[in-house]
Amino acid sequence: MTYAWLIPALPAASFIILLFLGKRFGKWSHFVSVGAILSAFAISSFILYQVIGGRGSEVLIPWLSIGELDLNVGILIDRLTAVMLMVVTSVASLVQIYSVGYMKEDRRYHWYFACLSLFTAAMLMLVLSANYVQMYASWELVGLCSYLLIGFWFEKKAAADAAKKAFVTTRIGDVGFLLGLVVLYYAVGNLDVGSVLAARLAPAVATAASLLLFLGAMGKSAQFPLHVWLPDAMEGPTPVSALIHAATMVAAGVYLVARSYPIFAASGVAMDVVAGIGAVTALMAATIALVQRDIKRILAYSTISQLGLMMIGLGVGAYSAAVFHLTTHAFFKALLFLGAGSVIHSAHTQDIFEMGGLAKKMKGTAFTFAVGGLALAGFPGLSGFWSKEGILTAAFVKGAYPVFAAALLTSLLTAFYVGRLYFVVFTGSMRKNMQAKVHESPLAMVAPLAVLAFPAGLVGLIGSPLFGNAFQGFLRLGESGEHVNLMVMGLSIAVALAGLGFAWIKYSTGLLPSGLIKTSNPFFLLLKNKYYLDEIYTRGLVAPVVGGSRALFSFDSGVVDGAVNGTAWLTSKAGDLVRRAQRGQIQDYGLVMVLGIIVLIFWMLTFARL
Amino acid sequence: MSWSVFAPEIIVFAVALIALLIELDRDVKRPWLGYVIGMGFIGALVADAVLLGAGVTETAFNGGYRIDALAAAFKAILLAASALVAIATARVSIAGAKRGEFYLLLSLSVLGATMMASAGDLLVLFLSLELTVLPSYALVALKRDGRSTEAALKYFLLGMVASAIFIYGASLTFGLTGSISFTDIAASLSRTGMSPALVIGIITLLAGLGFKIAAVPFHFWAPDVYEGADVPVASYLAVGPKAGGFAAIIRLFVVALGPAATTWAPLFAIIAVGSMLVGNLAALSQTTVRRLLGYSSIAHTGYLLVGLAVVSGYARTSLIFYFLVYSAAVLGAFLIVLAAAPTVGESIEGFAGLSKRAPGLSFAMAVFLFSLVGLPPLAGFIGKFYLFSSAVRGGMVWLAVVGVVNSVISFGYYSNIIRQMYLVKPVASSEVSVPWPLKATIYFLVAAIAVIGIYPSAILTMLNL
């Protein structure tokens, strides 16, 4: 299965082609990148087929040897890889096709597709990495691409700031990842994924390594308290948001934990931390999503919340259920983001309270959005329901009741904000100023929505008890089989319907008086301001760091630069001296040669060991 | 002994003959000649690669000629560089000369340098050394204007002095050890040990070879020649004679004088430090790109000599690897000058705003210069890393520190060119038009530097590092 290297290589090649020849391709750039990603998708499908047939492979080739450290690079294909490849390539393909319509008017069209290709290539490389250093390199590349894409419209200050914020915040996590690798290297002796996972680590080492790795995952997968970059990342083009939120960037963190699962499983502390952070994140983000007005931000907080849920799954030992939720979430969240993009494209606003009644004019978008929304809300029978179900059951069976309660409450809130989002945007009456401009989006945008609606709604079935939990069986790693817990299932159905129903009553029927919750309510303000975390970070972290940097800078510009400039001055003076020795007189040259020989001879005869 | 082991030399000789025959026919326009010559060199390169791959080790002509991995590695670098020069110059006007004349002299010099890499005794070494430099004197003079004639004359006179000194050292060594064969010299040396007279012999031998590689204090010709000669000639001279010179130095000192390694290793350390300092410091205040590259090539000779100051196989392999990456970058930089000079001139200020006028060339130049500095992820970084780490391993930390400090100094003048290209406003806006073979060669070198930098094992496993 060595041909698997083609999967990241094709988008990478597309990046290089567009980088150098992009201007020439111009409006045709997407043919290069879409062609590359579709081919990668085809190869990934074939790999999945082979892996289902029981094959897998690990290929390592030496890359670099630095002193005692031998670094390999390679390609690791197992079931987890095969699933991730499918998720990434399929969502990325649809996002790229969708972008053809969405980005049509953009000046840097070719550069957009170049970045998108590189982003996908980096993520695919990450998923295929057979060595942690290789994985780390791809991980950083993913970070770089997210910087480029979030800040794609860098003329807008908010976009440039958001890009910077995403990069810096995730870098904090990356430091943890790197330190985790150092720990693993000292414990295992090399960083090949296979041998690291096979090694029996001492509990303390496993705890240290897994917590450090988890710090990296927290950055990329936007876990509390490193989640703050993700809502701001909405400043990027909407298809990019879809890609980041569904298939690439945020999935990287969950993937890292899933890939390193044996290390985490060896440490009870680490598992509890993962579950705890997941629970806090899930609940916190879901509550914030309740009061946001920006359609993309609501979805952004929903992503954070769902990632928290995946972490809960990993933390309570429901490995396959967590990866399953990653998969289903990738599809329905991509669908929701692309749907949101379609809405924004047509309504030219992101404030949901300026919209309303859009379903009449945008039937396709509305319907597919409803499918994605119901899947996210955990509507019985749809994807999100089955995957969430697995996580809830695992938490309950394990007896982690606080975590279970948080997850259940998150599900209730999720159903409510999804309902709010849908009813406010698509039902009710349309604003006057909207009527003229609202229209259904072009086919290149609606077609991917329609295509995505199927997996978004139905992919959950392969992991449902109806099909014998086939998905989980495929991935299972040290878990006992799934048991349907009817009580959990009943609760889960109840909260989903309750949340959706309450949202319907509140936002669609007008049965409840408006102004029920005062906007001056302190709790409302707390949520609206996202628990003031940005402010806390600005005052508590950024301000001291900037102050410290200022102080260091004055030291630097005064003392250090002075020393540096002095050295440079001395060096250039010495250079003048040397240059003057070269006057162009051949007699001088010959003389210096001979003198040099004589000096060397005397020096050697005096000092050298004979 | 089978004649097939001489395939590279035979092919290069045939190439020279082809150039000679074509030169006889003076009236034909021949832009294709460069491709033919280039293909010839590539043929020789393939033959050499086969020998290298098969691990052929053979001694011919009573020990006078050695075919082994060391020779094959240097020949490969040399032949690849010569092929690139030939192809790159295919559609470039070579001032004041018939094209055939240039290729004839070029291939004769290449022949000399390949033989130098295989020399197994002092006599063959001397002859091949002369075969390398005699055509290069003529090559420098090809342009037939004041500057090139002056440069050629300087090069010739100093070269003759160096050769005389070399012959003096050879005769001393022969007199003291009773043999000109490298292996016999080594045997005799391990019996009798060092004597003061032999020290003089070693230093004078080194002076002769040090001239070829432009090591301090035998370096004076380099800036004048690199600036005075026609650019295609200069780009060859920065790589070709150096490859032969380094191969010969390694063979002479490691094989013939190996038993006296503790004596000569400090000698190389001094010359290395001197070359680094003089080359880098003098380069700082240069105003033309070619003169700057001339001094920088002296500095690079200094880095390379670290591989000899530290006596270990690891260090020597690092030297060969660094020679490869240095050759690629310096050849690339000279080819950029060749491409840009007709439009923007050769002064560093002329490169102002080149990124606007020729983005591709500027990018390539930045890659070459950054690789010469040794910035990751380019090949130059890996090369310097191995070279300096060999010094650390050999217990000569101070030498590694000097090397790193010198790399920092070199950043000063390399970055000045990059600053001019990218941050200074262009003085004119005319497009820079470059013949396609030249452009293709430049981009090939960029790709090679990037690939070697990212995946050095491709080369390193071949060299067993």
Tell me if B50 sits within 8 A of B6, measured CB to CB. no
What confidence category does residue B14 fall into, taking pLDDT thresholds of 50, 70 and 90?
very high
Chain A interface, mutation test: which of B195, B203, B227, B314, most A Cβ atoms within 10 Å? B203
Q: CA–CA separation, A118 vs A22, rounded Å?
A: 14
Q: Indicate if B76 and B51 belong to the same structural domain.
A: yes
**Residue A541 reports pLDDT greater than 60:** yes
Residue that the structure tokens 């190389």 belong to: B268
- pLDDT of the residue at B336: 94
- Residue A153 to chain B, least CA–CA distance (Å): 23
Q: CA–CA separation, A438 vs A345, rounded Å?
A: 9
H or E element that contains A59: strand A57-66
Q: What is the domain count for chain B?
A: 2
Domain of residue B37: give its range. Answer: 1-255
pLDDT in tens, B368-384: 999 999 888 899 999 99
- Rounded to 5°, angle at Cα B456 from A128 and B76: 140
- Least confidently predicted of A494-503, B192-201, B214-223, B230-239: A494-503
**Residue A482 reports pLDDT greater than 60:** no
Say whether the peptide bond before residue A225 is cis (omega within 30 degrees of 0). yes
Residue where a domain terminates, one of B213, B238, B255: B255
Q: Indicate if B236 and B333 belong to the same structural domain.
A: no
Of B157, B267, B382, the CB nearest to A600: B267
Cα Rg of chain A, angstroms = 28
What confidence category does residue A477 fall into, taking pLDDT thresholds of 50, 70 and 90?
low
Q: Indicate if B170 and B306 belong to the same structural domain.
A: no
The per-residue pLDDT of chain A, averaged, comes to 81
Taking contacts as CB-CB distances below 8 angstroms, the residues of chain B near A601 are: 199-200, 203
Span A42-47, average pLDDT: 87
Single-letter residue type at A214: F
- pLDDT of the residue at A20: 80
Instruction: Please tell me if residue A49 touches chain B, with a CB cutoff of 8 Å.
Output: no
Cα-flanking dihedrals φ and ψ of residue B311, to 5°? -90, 95
Instruction: Please tell me if residue B69 touches chain A, with a CB cutoff of 8 Å.
Output: no
- pLDDT of the residue at A510: 66
pLDDT in tens, A123-172: 989 888 888 888 888 888 888 888 888 888 887 888 888 888 888 888 88
3-class DSSP state for residue A603? helix
**Residue B119 reports pLDDT greater than 70:** yes
Q: Determine, for residues B267 and A608 on separate chains, whether the beta-carbon distance falls below 8 Å.
A: yes
Taking contacts as CB-CB distances below 8 angstroms, the residues of chain B near A584 are: 224
Q: Which of residues 259-278 of B touch A (CB under 8 A)?
A: 262-263, 266-267, 270, 277-278
**Residue B462 reports pLDDT greater than 80:** no
Q: Determine, for residues B385 and A66 on separate chains, whether the beta-carbon distance falls below 8 Å.
A: yes
- Residue B78 to chain A, least CA–CA distance (Å): 25
Q: Which of residues 135-194 of B touch A (CB under 8 A)?
A: 153-154, 157-158, 161-162, 165, 193-194
Q: Indicate if B234 and B343 belong to the same structural domain.
A: no
Share of chain A above pLDDT 90, in %: 0
- pLDDT of the residue at A513: 62
3-class DSSP state for residue A401? helix
The per-residue pLDDT of chain B, averaged, comes to 89
Higher local confidence (pLDDT), B465 or B117: B117
Q: Indicate if B92 and B212 belong to the same structural domain.
A: yes
What confidence category does residue B81 fall into, taking pLDDT thresholds of 50, 70 and 90?
very high
Residue B431 CB neighbour total at 10 angstroms: 8
Span A340-357, average pLDDT: 79
What confidence category does residue B275 fall into, taking pLDDT thresholds of 50, 70 and 90?
very high
Give Cβ neighbours of residue B403 (< 8 Å, ≥ 6 apart). Answer: B276, B303, B306, B384, B387, B388, B391
Q: Indicate if B46 and B172 belong to the same structural domain.
A: yes
Distance from CA of residue B34 to its chain's centroid? 21
Q: CA–CA separation, B137 vs B224, rounded Å?
A: 13
- pLDDT of the residue at B126: 94
What confidence category does residue A265 fall into, taking pLDDT thresholds of 50, 70 and 90?
confident
- Residue B456 to chain A, least CA–CA distance (Å): 7
Share of chain B above pLDDT 90, in %: 51
Share of chain B above pLDDT 70, in %: 97
Q: Indicate if B241 and B268 belong to the same structural domain.
A: no
Q: Which residue does chain A place closest to B154, by CA atoms?
A: A586
- pLDDT of the residue at B1: 62
Chain A interface, mutation test: which of B163, B271, B281, most A Cβ atoms within 10 Å? B281
Taking contacts as CB-CB distances below 8 angstroms, the residues of chain A near B224 are: 584
pLDDT in tens, B55-66: 888 888 888 899
Of B158, B203, B262, the CB nearest to A590: B158
pLDDT in tens, B31-49: 788 888 999 999 999 999 9
Instruction: Please tell me if residue A571 touches chain B, with a CB cutoff of 8 Å.
Output: yes
Q: Indicate if B207 and B299 belong to the same structural domain.
A: no
Q: Determine, for residues B285 and A572 on separate chains, whether the beta-carbon distance falls below 8 Å.
A: yes
What sign results for the dihedral spanned by CA atoms A365, A367, A371, A373? Answer: positive
Taking contacts as CB-CB distances below 8 angstroms, the residues of chain A near B153 are: 586
Q: Determine, for residues A593 and B263 on separate chains, whether the beta-carbon distance falls below 8 Å.
A: no
Q: CA–CA separation, A2 vs B220, rounded Å?
A: 54
Residue where a domain terminates, one of B228, B255, B282: B255
Give Cβ neighbours of residue A551 (< 8 Å, ≥ 6 apart). Answer: none
What confidence category does residue B438 fall into, taking pLDDT thresholds of 50, 70 and 90?
very high
- Least confidently predicted of A211-215, A318-322, A471-475, B445-449: A471-475
Prediction ipTM score: 0.85
**Residue B27 reports pLDDT greater than 60:** no
- pLDDT of the residue at A514: 61
Q: Determine, for residues A609 and B262 on separate chains, whether the beta-carbon distance falls below 8 Å.
A: yes
Span B415-444, average pLDDT: 88
Give Cβ neighbours of residue B169 (< 8 Å, ≥ 6 apart). Answer: B200, B201, B202, B203, B204, B205, B206, B207, B208
- pLDDT of the residue at B44: 95
pLDDT in tens, B317-366: 999 999 999 999 999 999 999 999 888 888 888 888 888 888 889 999 99
Q: CA–CA separation, A306 vs A413, rounded Å?
A: 12
Q: Which of residues 213-242 of B touch A (CB under 8 A)?
A: 216-218, 220-221, 223-224
Q: Determine, for residues A586 and B154 on separate chains, whether the beta-carbon distance falls below 8 Å.
A: yes
Of A576, A582, A600, the CB nearest to B223: A582
Tell me if A86 sits within 8 A of A45, measured CB to CB. yes
Q: Indicate if B335 and B460 belong to the same structural domain.
A: yes
- Residue B25 to chain A, least CA–CA distance (Å): 38
Say what the alpha-carbon torsion angle A521, A523, A529, A531 is, to the nearest 10 degrees: 160
Short-list A370, A176, A388, CA closest to A282: A388
Instruction: Please tell me if residue B281 touches chain A, with a CB cutoff of 8 Å.
Output: yes
**Residue A389 reports pLDDT greater than 60:** yes
Q: Indicate if B405 and B459 belong to the same structural domain.
A: yes
Q: Which residue does chain A place closest to B198, by CA atoms?
A: A610
What confidence category does residue B108 fall into, taking pLDDT thresholds of 50, 70 and 90?
very high
Say what the alpha-carbon torsion angle B157, B160, B166, B169 is, to the nearest 10 degrees: -90
Predicted TM-score of the model (pTM): 0.73
Residue B130 CB neighbour total at 10 angstroms: 17
- Least confidently predicted of A68-72, A496-500, A503-507, B94-98: B94-98
Residue where a domain terminates, one of B233, B255, B277: B255
Of A572, A593, A605, the CB nearest to B196: A605
Q: Indicate if B199 and B275 belong to the same structural domain.
A: no
**Residue A66 reports pLDDT greater than 70:** no
What confidence category does residue B440 fall into, taking pLDDT thresholds of 50, 70 and 90?
very high
Q: CA–CA separation, B281 vs B293, rounded Å?
A: 12
Tokens read off for B141 = 């003079």
Q: Indicate if B335 and B218 belong to the same structural domain.
A: no
Q: CA–CA separation, A535 vs A471, rounded Å?
A: 43
- pLDDT of the residue at B95: 62
Of A571, A589, A607, the CB nearest to B409: A571
pLDDT in tens, A74-120: 888 888 888 888 888 888 888 888 888 777 777 777 888 888 888 88
**Residue A50 reports pLDDT greater than 80:** yes
- Least confidently predicted of A193-207, B18-32, B400-414: B18-32
Q: CA–CA separation, A462 vs A451, rounded Å?
A: 18
H or E element that contains B86: helix B69-88
Taking contacts as CB-CB distances below 8 angstroms, the residues of chain B near A65 are: 457, 460
- pLDDT of the residue at A68: 65
- pLDDT of the residue at A438: 73
Q: Which residue does chain A place closest to B189, by CA atoms?
A: A610
- pLDDT of the residue at A397: 82
- pLDDT of the residue at B276: 93
Q: Determine, for residues A593 and B223 on separate chains, whether the beta-carbon distance falls below 8 Å.
A: no
What confidence category does residue A584 fall into, taking pLDDT thresholds of 50, 70 and 90?
low
Q: Determine, for residues B281 and A593 on separate chains, whether the beta-carbon distance falls below 8 Å.
A: no
